[in-house]
């Protein structure tokens, strides 16, 4: 390891999962130089996944779960600044903050995350229209659910479906409008997506596919929406869950390349050797897809934070961790390992009618991703197989007796 790297001044912009993990891993790896963590929210850095799940559940105590206790930052000598970064000066290697301070750095890590995609239709600014990204968003949505009678969710992605399940648990009427022909179309196979749709419909959600929103209606406060087919929907609370966009303004203004994220190389470094990018904002080459991708998951954020910390300390290597995701939507427990691409061959393991099955996705005859519904053993086996580069034969999976778990446990042939 490089001795100088251990004493470099490191500034991390973004106090979410990726940023906090980067700072923590630097200290754990022996970095003894100054570490400054810049976050633009007043709260202590907190976990975001529970905001659309446990935080909205009926009877749950609406308490944010911190990523680390406040004492951690003191004990680890991590200078947590609860302010916004406004500009980067790459020539002088300084970060301007909105409190007037200028932070010098030897190494800069961009962990700026993502922001909610807005809904570009009339009425999107009415009272009662919610987004969900931050703790204040979740608190406002929770309060709204306690008063609402009917809920409209725009977008059948992870957040939209998790909120829909929470609203049904509150006993509210819920309609979900999704412009695509299936829920979670960007990430799930047809087989798994069809099951997700069936689960939500059985739970009482009115899921409308192939239907976008053209306007939200009401005077001062939302009372409904108009769909692309001309149908009108009544609702006194609307949740916009149409995805996110990476926060790249700082990088772009500083002249760094951006394209659906901050463009980095295989080690997560930008063309400026002093600057890295991690987490939701980083567009990186994937060892698992052969393409450039940007991932939005806690696992990716944490793993990339650890990876960049190691690189700063002198252990630079290509990032190759297996991506994995999860979502809890009422009774539905969905876990995904790997990344499915359009055109992948799919093989069903188990019977969707039982509510417990996996969809194995193959690319060029090799296992590329596994989508598991209430089959955690399959999920863990898939993660082991993908990390090891092992793949069962697609034909073998069609045997009802085949077990992905047992295959993952089996010795590798010489």
DSSP state of 231: -
Band (pLDDT 50/70/90 cuts) for residue 411 is confident
Domain regions of the chain by residue span? 4-115+245-312, 118-242, 340-409
Multiple choice CATH, 340-409, 3.30.390.30, 3.40.50.720, 3.90.1150.10, 3.30.420.40? 3.30.390.30
pLDDT tens by residue, 92-118: 999 999 999 999 999 999 999 999 999
Check whether 259 has a pLDDT greater than 90. yes
CA dihedral (328, 329, 334, 336) in degrees, to 10, reads -80
pTM as predicted: 0.95
Multiple choice CATH, 118-242, 3.30.43.10, 3.40.50.450, 3.50.50.60, 3.40.640.10? 3.50.50.60
Burial of residue 290 (number of CB atoms within 10 Å: 0-12, 13-18, 19+): exposed
CA dihedral (366, 293, 373, 406) in degrees, to 10, reads 30
pLDDT tens by residue, 150-202: 999 999 999 999 999 999 999 999 999 999 999 999 999 999 999 999 999 99
Lowest mean pLDDT among 62-76, 154-168, 263-277, 328-342: 62-76
Q: State the first-to-last Cα distance of the chain, in angstroms, to the nearest integer.
A: 35
CA dihedral (37, 40, 41, 45) in degrees, to 10, reads -20
Domains 4-115+245-312 and 340-409 agree in fold: no
CATH class of segment(s) 4-115+245-312:
alpha beta
């Amino acid at each position: 390891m490089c001795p100088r790297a251990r004493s470099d001044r490191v500034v991390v912009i973004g106090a979410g999962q990726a940023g906090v993990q980067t700072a923590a891993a630097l200290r754990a790896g022996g970095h003894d130089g100054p570490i400054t963590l810049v976050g633009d929210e007043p709260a202590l850095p907190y976990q975001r996944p529970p905001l659309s799940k446990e935080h909205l559940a009926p009877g749950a105590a609406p308490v944010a779960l911190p990523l680390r206790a406040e004492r951690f930052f003191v004990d680890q000598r991590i200078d947590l600044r609860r302010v916004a970064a406004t500009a980067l000066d790459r020539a002088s290697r300084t970060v301007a903050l909105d409190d007037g301070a200028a932070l010098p750095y030897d190494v800069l890590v961009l962990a700026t995350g993502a922001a909610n995609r807005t809904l570009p239709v009339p009425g999107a600014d009415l009272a009662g229209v919610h987004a969900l990204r931050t703790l204040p968003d979740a608190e406002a949505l929770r309060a709204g659910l306690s008063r609402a009678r009917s809920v409209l969710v725009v977008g059948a992605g992870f957040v939209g479906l998790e909120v829909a399940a929470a609203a049904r648990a509150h006993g509210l009427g819920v309609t979900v409008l999704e412009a695509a022909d299936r829920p979670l179309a960007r990430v799930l196979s047809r087989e798994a997506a069809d099951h997700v749709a069936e689960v939500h419909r059985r739970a009482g959600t009115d899921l409308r596919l192939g239907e976008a929103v053209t306007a939200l209606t009401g005077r001062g406060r939302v009372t409904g929406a108009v769909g692309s087919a001309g149908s009108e929907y009544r609702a006194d609370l609307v949740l916009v869950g149409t995805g996110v966009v990476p926060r790249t303004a700082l990088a772009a203004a500083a002249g760094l390349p951006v394209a659906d994220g901050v463009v980095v190389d295989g080690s997560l470094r930008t063309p400026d050797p002093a600057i890295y990018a991690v987490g939701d904002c980083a567009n990186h080459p994937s060892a698992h897809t052969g393409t450039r991708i940007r991932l939005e998951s806690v696992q990716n954020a944490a793993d990339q934070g650890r990876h960049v910390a190691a690189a700063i300390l002198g252990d630079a290597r290509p990032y190759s961790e297996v991506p994995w995701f999860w979502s809890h939507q009422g009774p539905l427990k969905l876990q995904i390992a790997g990344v499915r691409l359009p055109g992948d061959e799919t093989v069903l393991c188990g019977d969707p009618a039982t509510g417990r099955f996996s969809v194995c996705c193959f690319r060029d005859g090799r296992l590329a991703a596994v989508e598991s519904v209430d089959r955690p053993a399959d999920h863990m086996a898939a993660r082991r197989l993908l990390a090891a580069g092992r793949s069962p034969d697609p034909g073998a999976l069609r045997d009802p007796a085949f077990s992905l778990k047992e295959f993952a446990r089996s010795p590798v042939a010489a």
